[in-house]
Amino acid sequence: MSRLFGTDGVRGEANSELKPELAYRLGRAAALYFGKRFEEKPKILIGRDTRISGEMLEAALVAGICSAGGHAISVGVIPTPGVAYLVKKINAVAGIVISASHNPFYDNGIKFFGGNGYKLPDAVEDEISEIVSRIERDDNFSRPTGAKIGEVEYRQDLLADYINFVISTTSEKFDGLTVVLDCANGAAYDAMPKVLKRLGAEVILMGNKPNGININDDCGSTHIENLRLEVLRRRADIGIAHDGDADRCLCIDEKGNLIDGDHILIMCAKLMMDIGALVKNTVVTTVMANIGFRQAVENLNARYEITTVGDRYVLENMLKNGYNLGGEQSGHIIFTDYSTTGDGLITALQVLTAMKKSGKTASQLNEMMTTFPQVLINVRVKDKKIAQENDSVKRAIFEGEEELGSTGRILVRASGTEPLVRVMAEGPNKKQLDRICNKIAAEIEKAGNGI
C-alpha cells in the first residue's frame, strides 16, 4: 500500500487524486490527532496559495476540522513560510498549507506544520494517515455534537504580522535599488511587493495578478526567462522570482545572468562570515549542488555538508549539527536564525542585504562562484521504481560515468512530488553532457513506460 503523504504533503490533481472528500478526512484526522494530544478544541491554522481549487479544499478542511471539534483559523492567501511563522506566533497546535508549490494550477497539495513551525515527522504523518483510514471505514468515528462541535475564524489580518516579521530580518534599507519582482501569480503576490516597498526599493511587478489558473504559468522561479528580459529592458539592479507558494527564491543579476540557489548560498555565506554569524563556517546543501559551489565554498575558507535531495533533509542536518545556513540549487534556502522552513521572501532580502552591505552589484556577487555546465532532463514515467532499476538504464548510467571520469558526475533520482525521474549530468563540456543525458533519459522512458 502506497503512503498517503509524499515528501511534501499529500499532492495530486485537484478534484481527481486530491478530492475535497480526502481534504475533509484529513481535516478531521488532524483535529482528532492534535486534539487528543494538546487541547480539547485544537487551534489549526490554514493558509493557501492562489489556485482555483484552494478555496474548495480549504472549505473541506475546515468542515473536517470543525466536525471533529477543532478550531480552524483561516488566514487566506499567504506564503507557505508565513503559516510556519504564524503557527508559533498565535500558539496554534498545527498549521496546514494548501499548495502544490511550483506545480501547474490544476495540481494542489495539503501539507502540515506542527505547533513548533516545523514540518511534521514521518511518524506523525503516518498516525494521521491511520486516522484517515479509520474515518474511511467508519464515518461516525469520533463525531462530537452540541457545544463540542468546532468553529472557524477568519484572520486575514495575520498576513500583516508575517510581513512585519520578514521586514525585521534585515537592518538595511534598499533605497536606490530597482527590483523587478515576479510573484508567479502565487502566494507572494500581495506580501512581497509590500515588503520591498516599505524597505525603500523601487519595485517593478510581474506575476502579481492571480486569477486561479495562471499560477506558475510562464512566470515565477520555474519560468525565469521573462524576468531576465524585463531586468535587462528596465536596466534594473536585480530581478527576484518566487515560486507558487513563495518558499523559494531565484534571482537575475543586472547583466541577465541567473543567480540560482547555489550562488545565493555563497552570497549569504560570505555575508554571514563577514559578521561572524555563520555557525562553524558551514553551509549545508544537497547532492544537486554544482561542482562550482564546492569550489566557491572552499575559496571562502568555509566548509560544506551534503545531504540527499529535499529541504527536509537539509533541515535535519542543520538542526542535528547546529548549522544556520543551508539550501538547494532550486532556491529553497533555510536560515534557521529566522525561520523553521525555506522562506523565499527572507532569502530575497538577504541577497539585497548582501548587495547593500558589500557595495557590490548583483553580478559582482554572482561571480564569486563559477557554475560548471549542468544538464537536467525530467522524464515522465508510469513507474519510477522500474525506471531506475532496469538493467539497460543502469548500463547507460555506468557508460556515462566512465566517459566523464573524474571531470564530472551523473545523478539519477525520482521526484518525490511528481511522476518524474530526473537525470542530471555535470562537467566541463555541455555537448557531451547533452548526449549522455539524452541516452540515459531514453532508456528510462522505455523502462518506466513499458515501451
Q: What is the CA 427 to chain-centroid distance, rounded? A: 27
Concerning whether 392 is annotated as a catalytic residue, the answer is no
Going from the C-alpha of 210 to that of each of 63, 213, 215, 405, the distances in angstroms are 26, 7, 6, 47
Cβ count near 209 (within 10 Å): 11
Catalytic member of 67, 101, 221, 339: 101
Q: What residues pair up with 304 in beta bridges, in sequence order?
A: 283
For 211, how many CA atoms within 13 A lie in the half-sphere containing its CB?
3
| Bridge partners, 6 (sequence order) | 9
Tell me the CA end-to-end span of the chain in Å, nearest whole number.
25
Q: Which amino acid appears at position 125 of this protein? A: E
| Nearest-angstrom CA–CA distance, 101 and 103 | 6
Q: Any idea what the Cα angle at residue 262 is, between residues 257 and 266, rounded to 5°?
A: 95
Could you count the other beta carbons within 10 Å of the beta carbon of residue 16? Answer: 9
Which residues lie across from 410 on neighbouring strands? 425
Which whole-number Å values give the CA distances from 239 to 206, 223, 251, 343, 381, in the listed order?
Answer: 10, 13, 5, 17, 34
Full DSSP string of 189-233: TTHHHHHHHHTT-EEEEES----SS-TTSS-STTS-HHHHHHHHH
Smallest CA-to-CA distance from 102 within 187, 45, 26 is with 187
- The continuous run of DSSP H or E covering 423 comes out as strand 420-426
Of all helices (H) and strands (E), which one includes residue 128? helix 122-137
Q: Say if CB 421 and CB 388 are below 8 A apart.
A: yes
Q: What are the catalytic residues? A: 101
